[in-house]
Amino acid sequence: MERQVPDLYDIIVIGGGINGCGIARDAAGRGLRILLVEQGDLAQGTSSASTKLIHGGLRYLEQFEFRLVREALQERERLLKAAPHIIWPLRFVLPHDQGVRPAWLVRLGLFLYDHLASRERLPGCATLRLHEHPYGKALQPRFRTGFAYSDCAVDDSRLVVLTAMDARERGAEIAPRTRFVRARRRSDLWDVVLEDVNSGPRRELRARALVNATGPWVAEVLGSRLGVASSKKVRLIKGSHLVTRRLYKGDHAYILQNPDKRIVFTIPYQRDFTLIGTTDIPYQEEPHDLRISEEETAYLCDSVGRHLRASVRQEDIVWSYAGVRPLFDDGSITASVVTRDYVFDLDAASGTPPALSVFGGKITTFRRLAEHALDELARFFPELKPAWTQGAALPGGNIPRADFTTFLADLMARKPFLEVPTAWRLARAYGTRVDAVLGNAQSENDLGHDFGAGLREAEINYLMQAEWAETAEDILWRRSKLGLHVPPSGVLEVERYLAGQRRAGAVAARETSVGNMPCRDM
């Protein structure tokens, strides 16, 4: 049978962000042979530059995006069950400013937010007398009334990696640092050329279908690398964030209304910090090496200064990051009202292999987007199994009753040598798979050298072997956010350790190759 040919895949997915990994996971679980390629690291682009939220999108109600909000609220509940280690409830406080939105409109929006989809674990909205409530202590005294509602925080880049891990465990091949060079139709298959980014060799494959989930590059891949014309366009919107030293006490976030009717979040982050974002700026340049601008920094700092008692000084800023959201261009005039919904472009003339391109989307709805993508492709794969992801946990997410607090206490009882911050971080990052990192360790020394902030050799080895990590940036900024905690000397030590591991791996590979050479008479 042709399907047994080694270089033939059912679907090649291009793009290792949340949408590409979600589609690869769903398709692999339905019995298809999947290859996902990503020219950089997983989640290296837009998917690690978000505001770190799983949310319905309260402000989208003003654009009458009721279907999108309802779907996002449904997915919020599902993802909270699927990954309670990397997704957790977060209470938001909205100080009311009558000059921006009337109170009745806010109450109506919050009522809809509570009732568009069912809630099982998250409390509903409430009206607050801020001058009497602990949530009001960090706010300026002029805010007397406020509102509270619930959404979820997420470790966005880990969500991508765990989704890719699940895809691999269901049979998909995941290939980071593999560039998609081009593809051309040949009869009922795609001829595809890939290139190894690290070493350079090219690989020729075939596929029954392609999925273009390249985010900001979706249009460029369609045109120049697939030779496919499309009437749909992508609109790039730059969003930037600041991370500062912690601005207030408490585990709650604030949602700040600005005079331009945009909103800015302040979110407790990584125990010691506050995350502030985001901006919404049209962007038309190549989306590489993005940085926050002085104007964006001033905008975010001004927003905080109008609402909180604490102001943001330059010395308070410890990190910043920026990304572009590849939204579907719906013709909206201003960036803040462009739809956050997703749109597919299926190119499949009669008798030719299909190419499905993804425009738009948001991290909260990635699972549903993937399910819809497979619905679009189902007619090309009569052997496709039914949808399955709705109730499936992500790796490490099968915590009993989704009770993270009890799970953490059990980990500390089993591994009493772990310091509390380290145990908390490991439990959050790996969930029920934390023992794959810790192994049979009975002391901290059993985990190897400490590079700072509790990062030890055993964890780095795990990330290299199980999660495709290759560089210090992969480990310190995407597999974790330990870059905020590890000192510069520790970063250099991590880089040297990784270089040593790579050299050892190369030597072992050469020795294995020599050992496998056939014997010849001399």
Residues 304 and 350 occupy one common structural domain: no
Residues 239 and 228 occupy one common structural domain: no
**Number of other residues whose CB lies within 10 A of the CB of residue 16:** 33
Residue 337 has pLDDT above 60, yes or no: no
Confidence of residue 496 (pLDDT cuts 50, 70, 90): very high
Residues 263 and 245 occupy one common structural domain: yes
- What is d(CA 279, CA 281) in angstroms, rounded to the nearest whole number? 6
Q: E strands along 83-154, which residues?
A: 87-95, 126-129, 145-154
**Contacts of 451 by beta carbon, 8 Å cutoff, 6+ apart:** 460, 486, 490, 493, 494, 497
Determine, yes or no, domain membership for 364: yes
Determine, yes or no, domain membership for 359: yes
- Only one residue has tokens 């309260």, namely 58
Cis peptide before 364 (omega within 30 of 0): no
Q: What is the pLDDT of residue 233?
A: 85
Confidence of residue 352 (pLDDT cuts 50, 70, 90): very high
Determine, yes or no, domain membership for 60: no
Q: What is the pLDDT of residue 289?
A: 80
| Averaged pLDDT, 182-197 | 95
| Averaged pLDDT, 97-122 | 90
> pLDDT: is 330 or 258 the higher one?
258
Residue 138 has pLDDT above 50, yes or no: yes
pLDDT digits (tens, 9 = 90+) for 301-324: 999 999 999 999 999 999 999 999
Q: What is the pLDDT of residue 221?
A: 94
Query: What is the extent of the structural domain holding 372?
Result: 2-46+158-232+340-391
At 74, list the tokens.
Answer: 């449904």
Contact 211, 25 (CB under 8 A): no
Residues 18 and 127 occupy one common structural domain: no
pLDDT digits (tens, 9 = 90+) for 157-167: 999 999 999 99
Residue 268 has pLDDT above 60, yes or no: yes
| Averaged pLDDT, 337-346 | 77
Residues 264 and 147 occupy one common structural domain: yes
| Averaged pLDDT, 54-76 | 92
Q: What is the CATH number of the domain that holds 467?
A: 1.10.8.870
- What is d(CA 304, CA 482) in angstroms, rounded to the nearest whole number? 25
Determine, yes or no, domain membership for 515: no
Residue 284 has pLDDT above 90, yes or no: no
Q: What is the CATH number of the domain that holds 292?
A: 3.30.9.10
| Averaged pLDDT, 206-229 | 94
Q: What is the CATH number of the domain that holds 191?
A: 3.50.50.60
Distances, alpha carbon 227 to alpha carbons 184, 353, 378, in Å: 8, 13, 23
- Only one residue has tokens 């409530």, namely 133
| Averaged pLDDT, 274-287 | 91
Residue 376 has pLDDT above 50, yes or no: yes
At 263, list the tokens.
Answer: 């909103």
Determine, yes or no, domain membership for 52: no
> pLDDT: is 332 or 324 the higher one?
324
Closest CA to 400 of 121, 81, 78: 81
Instruction: Share the mean pLDDT of the chain.
Output: 92
Q: What is the pLDDT of residue 334?
A: 55
- What is the sign of the dihedral through the CA atoms of 258, 278, 452 and 313? negative
Q: What is the pLDDT of residue 390?
A: 96
Determine, yes or no, domain membership for 136: yes
**Number of other residues whose CB lies within 10 A of the CB of residue 495:** 16
Contact 326, 181 (CB under 8 A): no
Residues 494 and 409 occupy one common structural domain: yes
| Averaged pLDDT, 73-89 | 97
**Number of other residues whose CB lies within 10 A of the CB of residue 4:** 6
Residues 82 and 228 occupy one common structural domain: no
Contact 46, 404 (CB under 8 A): no
Q: What is the pLDDT of residue 282?
A: 92
- Only one residue has tokens 């990052």, namely 429
> pLDDT: is 333 or 354 the higher one?
354
pLDDT digits (tens, 9 = 90+) for 83-109: 999 999 999 999 998 778 888 999 999
Using CB atoms within 10 Å of the CB of residue 501, give its burial: 0 to 12 exposed, 13 to 18 middle, 19+ buried: middle
Closest CA to 283 of 323, 337, 253, 310: 323
Contact 148, 93 (CB under 8 A): yes
Residue 208 has pLDDT above 50, yes or no: yes
Confidence of residue 398 (pLDDT cuts 50, 70, 90): very high
Report how many domains make up the chain: 3
Residue 327 has pLDDT above 80, yes or no: yes
Q: What is the pLDDT of residue 285?
A: 85
| Averaged pLDDT, 279-288 | 88
Residues 386 and 410 occupy one common structural domain: no
Which of 368, 391, 414 terminates a domain? The answer is 391
Confidence of residue 519 (pLDDT cuts 50, 70, 90): very low
Residues 10 and 123 occupy one common structural domain: no
Contact 226, 210 (CB under 8 A): yes
Which of 330, 350, 381 terminates a domain? The answer is 330
Contact 254, 264 (CB under 8 A): no
Q: What is the pLDDT of residue 499?
A: 95
Residues 463 and 436 occupy one common structural domain: yes
Residue 511 has pLDDT above 70, yes or no: no
Determine, yes or no, domain membership for 358: yes
Residues 364 and 441 occupy one common structural domain: no
pTM summary value:
0.94
The helix (run of H) or strand (run of E) holding residue 92 is strand 87-95
Residues 370 and 412 occupy one common structural domain: no
Determine, yes or no, domain membership for 301: yes
**Contacts of 295 by beta carbon, 8 Å cutoff, 6+ apart:** none
Confidence of residue 3 (pLDDT cuts 50, 70, 90): very low
